[in-house]
């Protein structure tokens, strides 16, 4: 069977569990393109981002986003990701935690294309990303591998959830992004701290919850430093790190997600409270969103 | 600070005796709880002092009517309590408090981004039920990149109902005399100076230069709680334990660690592993409810996080000069291992816990009686400094006291009645074959009356106990032990007479309270005198002292 991939609109930031499916061949065509991102100020930053390609892998007219599109596949799928590179510099694709069978990653030359083919062998939350200077430019996104049972993050029933929300954490230094090839990394100093590419008050709220709702927060740290995220008014049960379920899940209100790491945490909405802030505890105040009832 | 706190408590008690926060009787070391269910806090500015002579503007929560203090008071409540925190704002911008780990926080105030706010000059109130025990923080939820950096934070402790000696449950029982808060914070003095002078505040230029435990930087961290020269920083963080002993000292210390700083701190406790039992106020358990604690010799504590540790120090080697001598083939512990600055050392210079060795000339010893010290510090070495000068910053010491407390033996002997027969005070150092012998008087009721002198007993020592072992040349004579009371220049008898005959008899006595009367001050600082009086016969005799020993708990 051949399916197209399931796309989750990150603007929504929250989805219902996807339905399970048997292993399939999944083909995804991504474009790596230059664009801009409007940040509070407003400041317009240059970015490189991934975008879904048009038919036939065409990148004509596509708009790259930061982070890139959310890719969702089923455990066991054979996944082919083709990168069509419209940039004037090579672009890599890596998926830390999954074996691409082609070395650490693939590289699409400037103006060219390359395809990574791999088996989505284990469920979990993964980053797909470029390398080195491509990352602070915005070439990253989330890849979710779903287990056979719908509505679970992993194989265990204790990872069942009602809602899920992606929190791709990153930071942008517009000065670096203005001249990525030559910027001195010694002076790399981000000015904008983002969730899913947005700074508060533009961040996506997590809606649609009620007391007892189990919300799966999928944290992905695409930024450059270890990031501590605070949750107020509720606890999150940390289920997995780097797509590996923990033997002893634990409850937390301040969790550090290492740069390049991912973490899955389950928030059971308490009986009291209607607004639960999730924010950067290292005091970068625009990295903030809320889980809200309803 | 201690006086100010007590004054504040008196005021609060007068105002509403039943439930208002009670300022504590402040222990010299260990956690200082402000107990209650209703707390009145004021957000206010003040200055802290750093060891390098700087003073830095901070904002903090103070007990209403009390002095400015950094960090805010340690709020201690019991599981199940309905807690009310009133916040009055003496700052010039809105301020608030968030309580991570508490659910259903209600209250009143003007609406803010993360919590109800107290406007400048105004008030807010927060209420919640402390539903689960644990170690938590409280901090500003208003403009955190400025207000938390400026110091608006503190610790909240919820004790299990009916079990103040548990952190969470029976598996986390600890010695209540050994409960410690280790609250980590970091400060960029340039940002604080910007606030002080009204200059632009650029958090993205953050560069921390001061790193604190409980609001103080090393070596101020070692000073007692409430010392007068750190009026705005009332909390010390010297960690004190005695060696683990299954019968005599079975319970661990509890270390309540919290990071209210802006960055994650890699904390490095030397000495023995520490056992992490909880994070963010929740015990670490297996899915089946079993123990999922873990042992660490280094652990990163994330910004905003709390972690609880149980800590027992086990003497792995148990070197003993008699039964288990330190191997002659191995170099003894070197004083340089613990020289921090300016020739100061905490090292005893000895491989034997409770003994002092010889230190090199020029070394200034901070060691009291052979206790051992281990650094507990941030392993980010830039944080082990005060404005880049090491050592300083986010560091304190673990102090392992000898199991029986400090021990001193008489260093001098003086005769009040009778004459010297033979020997010197050196004979009093151990129960062995050497004796210090005093001839009785030779007329009337014969008396041998002498005293031994001890030195180096620190002011504030407690638990004084005297052990005397001796015999007489003739059959049982009533022997009494006395201690010199410096305040009245009189001898005070300790207990009843013991009959001492021709074989060694050991007597142990403790002086009546207050024990501070028996430790000399001024020119006699650190001196203790113990008198041995033997009398009651008309036959000449010789009193023969074998051991005269003083044990005490150093402050
Ligand atoms: Cu160390």
Supply the ipTM of this predicted assembly: 0.93
From A257's Cα to the closest Cα of chain B, the distance in A is: 10
Q: Do B100 and A284 touch (CB under 8 A)?
A: no
CA distances from A189 to A176, A178, A220, A282 (A): 8, 13, 20, 15
Q: Do B286 and A247 touch (CB under 8 A)?
A: yes
Quickly state the pLDDT bin for B360 (edges 50, 70, 90).
Answer: confident
* Within-domain flag for A6: no
Domain shared by A106 and A176, yes or no: no
Q: What is the pLDDT of residues A42-82, one digit of tens each?
A: 999 999 999 999 999 999 999 999 999 999 999 999 999 99
Residue A87 domain boundaries = 20-152
Q: Is A157 on the interface with B (CB under 8 A)?
A: no
CATH code of A208's domain: 2.60.40.420
Peptide bond just before A250 cis, omega within 30 deg: no
**Number of residue pairs across A and B with CB atoms under 8 Å?**
95
- Residue B11 pLDDT more than 50? no
Domain shared by A167 and A288, yes or no: yes
Q: What is the pLDDT of residue B254?
A: 98
**A233 contacts in chain B (CB < 8 Å):** 102-105
What is the Cα B368 distance to its own chain's centre? Answer: 14
* Within-domain flag for B346: no
Give the number of domains in chain A: 2
What stretches of B470-537 show up as alpha helix (H) in DSSP?
Answer: none
Q: What is the pLDDT of residues A124-146, one digit of tens each?
A: 999 999 999 999 999 999 999 99
Domain shared by A244 and A197, yes or no: yes
CATH code of B24's domain: 2.60.40.420
* Within-domain flag for B458: yes
* Within-domain flag for A208: yes
Q: Is A96 on the interface with B (CB under 8 A)?
A: no
From B93's Cα to the closest Cα of chain A, the distance in A is: 17
**Spatial separation of the C-alpha atoms in residues A23 and A20, rounded to whole Å:** 10
Nearest partner of B43 among B191, B175, B148, B164, judged by Cα: B148
Chain B interface, best mutation among A281, A289, A291, A293, by max B CB count within 10 A: A281
Out of B311, B334, B366, a domain closes at B311
Domain shared by A147 and A242, yes or no: no
From A229's Cα to the closest Cα of chain B, the distance in A is: 8
Domain shared by A34 and A139, yes or no: yes
- Residue A159 pLDDT more than 50? yes
* Within-domain flag for B362: no
This prediction's pTM:
0.90
From A251's Cα to the closest Cα of chain B, the distance in A is: 6
In the beta sheet, which residues pair with residue A290? A277
CATH code of B487's domain: 2.60.120.260
Out of B266, B281, B311, a domain closes at B311
Give the number of domains in chain B: 2
* Within-domain flag for B27: yes
Out of B311, B327, B347, a domain closes at B311
- Residue B307 pLDDT more than 50? yes
Residue B38 domain boundaries = 2-311
- Residue B241 pLDDT more than 80? yes
Domain shared by B296 and B425, yes or no: no
What is the Cα A102 distance to its own chain's centre? Answer: 23
In the beta sheet, which residues pair with residue B505? B470
Residue of A158, A251, A285 lying closest to B144 (CB–CB): A285
Out of A126, A152, A178, a domain closes at A152
Domain shared by A72 and A133, yes or no: yes
**Spatial separation of the C-alpha atoms in residues B213 and B231, rounded to whole Å:** 16
Residue B118 in 3-state DSSP? Answer: strand
Q: What is the pLDDT of residues B112-160, one digit of tens each?
A: 999 999 999 999 999 999 999 999 999 999 999 999 999 999 999 999 9
Residue of A228, A250, A254 lying closest to B284 (CB–CB): A250
Give CA angle at B462 (B460, B465), nearest 5°: 135
Residue B305 in 3-state DSSP? Answer: coil
Domain shared by A94 and A30, yes or no: yes
Q: What is the pLDDT of residue A17?
A: 52
CA of B397 to the centre of ligand 1 (A): 11
Contact B346, B367 (CB under 8 A): yes
Summarize the confidence of residues A269-284 as an average pLDDT.
96
Domain shared by A141 and A201, yes or no: no
* Within-domain flag for B218: yes
| Closest B-chain CA to A248 | B286
Domain shared by A147 and A173, yes or no: no
Q: Do A282 and B149 touch (CB under 8 A)?
A: no
Q: Do B114 and A270 touch (CB under 8 A)?
A: no
* Within-domain flag for A8: no
Domain shared by A173 and A282, yes or no: yes
* Within-domain flag for A10: no
* Within-domain flag for B84: yes
Torsion angle defined by CA atoms of residues B451, B455, B460 and B462, in that order, rounded to the nearest 10 degrees: -50
* Within-domain flag for B394: no
Chain B interface, best mutation among A157, A200, A282, by max B CB count within 10 A: A282
- Per-residue DSSP letter, B387: T
Give CA angle at A261 (A257, A264), nearest 5°: 70
* Within-domain flag for B417: yes
* Within-domain flag for A9: no
Out of A114, A133, A152, a domain closes at A152
Range 244-263 of A in CB contact (< 8 A) with B: 247-256
Out of A122, A152, A182, a domain closes at A152
Domain shared by B307 and B414, yes or no: no
Domain shared by A83 and A207, yes or no: no
- Pairing label, strands A163-172, A214-221: parallel
> Over chain A, what HEC string results?
CEEECEEECCCCCEECCCCCCCCCEEEEEEEEEEEEEEECCCEEEEEEEEEECCHHHCCCCCCCECCCCEEEEECCCEEEEEEEECCCCCEEEECCCCCCCECECEEECCCCEEEEEEECCCCEEEEEECCCCHHHHCCEEEEEEECCCCCECCCCHHHECCEEEEEEEEEECHHHHHCCCCCCHHHCCCCEEEECCECCCCCCCECCCCCCCEEEEEEEECCCCCEEEEECCCCEEEEEECCEEEEEEEEECEEEECCCCEEEEEEECCCCCCEEEEEECCCCCCCEEEEECC
Q: What is the pLDDT of residue B326?
A: 87
Domain shared by A282 and A230, yes or no: yes
**Spatial separation of the C-alpha atoms in residues A224 and B121, rounded to whole Å:** 40
Quickly state the pLDDT bin for B24 (edges 50, 70, 90).
Answer: low
């Amino acid at each position: 069977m051949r399916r197209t991939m399931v796309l989750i609109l990150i603007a929504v930031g929250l989805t219902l569990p996807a339905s399970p499916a048997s292993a399939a061949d999944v083909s995804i065509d991504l474009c790596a393109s230059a664009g801009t991102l409007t940040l509070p100020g407003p400041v317009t930053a240059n970015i490189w981002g991934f975008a879904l390609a048009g038919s036939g892998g065409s990148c004509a007219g596509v708009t790259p986003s930061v982070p890139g599109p959310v890719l969702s596949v089923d455990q066991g799928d054979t996944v082919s990701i083709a990168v069509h590179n419209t940039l004037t510099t090579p672009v890599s694709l890596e998926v830390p935690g999954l074996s691409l069978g082609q070395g650490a990653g693939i590289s699409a030359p400037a103006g060219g294309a390359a395809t990574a083919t791999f088996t989505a062998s284990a469920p979990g939350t993964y980053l797909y990303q470029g390398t080195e200077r491509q990352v602070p430019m915005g070439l990253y996104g989330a890849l979710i591998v779903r287990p056979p049972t719908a509505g679970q993050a992993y194989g265990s029933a204790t990872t069942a959830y009602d809602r899920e929300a992606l929190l791709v954490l990153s930071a942008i230094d517009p000065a670096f992004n203005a001249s990525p090839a030559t910027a001195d990394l010694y002076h790399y100093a981000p000015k904008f701290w983002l969730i899913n590419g947005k700074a508060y008050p533009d961040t996506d709220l997590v809606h649609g919850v009620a007391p007892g709702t189990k919300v799966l927060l999928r944290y992905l740290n695409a930024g450059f430093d270890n990031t501590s995220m605070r949750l107020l008014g509720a606890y999150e049960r940390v289920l997995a790190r780097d797509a590996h379920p923990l033997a002893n899940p634990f409850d937390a209100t301040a969790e550090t997600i290492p740069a390049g790491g991912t973490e899955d945490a389950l928030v059971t909405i308490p009986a009291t409270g209607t607004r639960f802030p999730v924010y950067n505890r290292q005091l970068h105040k625009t990295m903030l969103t809320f889980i809200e009832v309803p | 600070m201690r006086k100010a706190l007590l004054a504040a408590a008196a005021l609060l008690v007068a105002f509403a005796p039943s439930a208002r926060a009670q300022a504590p009787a402040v222990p010299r070391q260990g956690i200082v709880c402000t107990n209650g269910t209703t707390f009145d806090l004021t957000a206010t500015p003040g200055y802290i002092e750093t060891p390098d002579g700087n003073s830095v503007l901070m904002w903090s929560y103070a007990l209403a009517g009390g002095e400015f203090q950094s960090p805010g008071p340690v709020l201690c409540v019991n599981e199940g309590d309905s807690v009310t925190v009133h916040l009055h704002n003496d700052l010039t911008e809105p301020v608030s408090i968030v309580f991570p780990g508490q659910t259903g926080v209600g209250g009143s105030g003007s609406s803010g981004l993360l919590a109800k706010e107290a406007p400048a000059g105004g008030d807010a109130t927060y209420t919640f039920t402390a539903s689960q025990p644990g170690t938590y923080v409280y901090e500003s939820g208003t403009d955190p990149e400025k207000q938390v950096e400026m110091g608006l934070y503190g610790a909240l402790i919820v004790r299990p109902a009916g079990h103040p000696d548990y952190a969470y449950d029976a598996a986390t029982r600890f010695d209540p005399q050994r409960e410690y808060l280790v609250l980590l914070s970091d400060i960029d003095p340039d940002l604080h100076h910007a606030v002080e002078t009204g200059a632009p505040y650029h958090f993205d230029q953050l560069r921390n230069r001061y790193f604190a435990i409980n609001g103080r930087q090393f070596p101020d961290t070692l000073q007692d709680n409430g010392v007068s020269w750190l009026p705005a920083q009332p909390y010390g963080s010297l960690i004190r334990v005695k060696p683990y002993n299954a019968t005599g000292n079975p319970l661990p210390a509890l270390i309540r660690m919290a990071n209210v700083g802006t960055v994650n701190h890699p904390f490095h406790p030397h000495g023995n592993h520490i056992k992490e039992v909880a994070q963010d106020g929740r015990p670490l358990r297996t899915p089946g409810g079993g123990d999922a604690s873990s042992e660490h010799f280094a652990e990163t504590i994330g910004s905003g996080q709390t972690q609880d540790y149980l800590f027992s120090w086990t003497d792995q080697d148990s070197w003993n000069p008699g039964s288990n001598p330190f191997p002659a083939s191995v170099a003894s512990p070197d004083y340089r291992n613990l020289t921090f600055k300016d020739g100061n050392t905490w090292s005893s210079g000895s491989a034997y816990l409770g003994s002092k060795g010889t230190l090199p000339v020029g070394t200034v010893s901070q060691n009291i009686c052979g206790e051992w010290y281990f650094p507990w510090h941030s392993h980010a070495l830039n944080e082990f400094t005060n404005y880049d000068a090491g050592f300083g910053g986010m560091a304190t010491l673990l102090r392992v006291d000898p199991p029986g407390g400090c021990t001193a033996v008489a260093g001098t002997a003086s005769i009040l009645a009778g004459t010297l027969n033979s020997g010197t005070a050196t004979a009093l150092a151990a129960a062995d074959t050497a004796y210090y012998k005093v001839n009785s008087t030779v007329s009337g009721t014969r008396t041998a009356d002498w005293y031994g002198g001890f030195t180096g007993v620190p002011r504030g020592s407690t638990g004084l106990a005297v052990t005397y072992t001796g015999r007489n040349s003739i059959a049982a004579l009533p022997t009494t032990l006395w201690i010199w009371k410096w305040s009245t220049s009189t001898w005070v008898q300790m207990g009843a007479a013991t009959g001492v005959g021709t074989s060694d008899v050991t007597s142990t006595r403790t002086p009546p309270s207050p024990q501070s009367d028996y430790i000399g001050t001024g020119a006699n600082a650190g001196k203790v005198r113990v008198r041995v009086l033997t009398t009651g016969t008309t036959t000449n005799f010789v009193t023969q002292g074998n051991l005269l020993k003083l044990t005490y708990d150093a402050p």
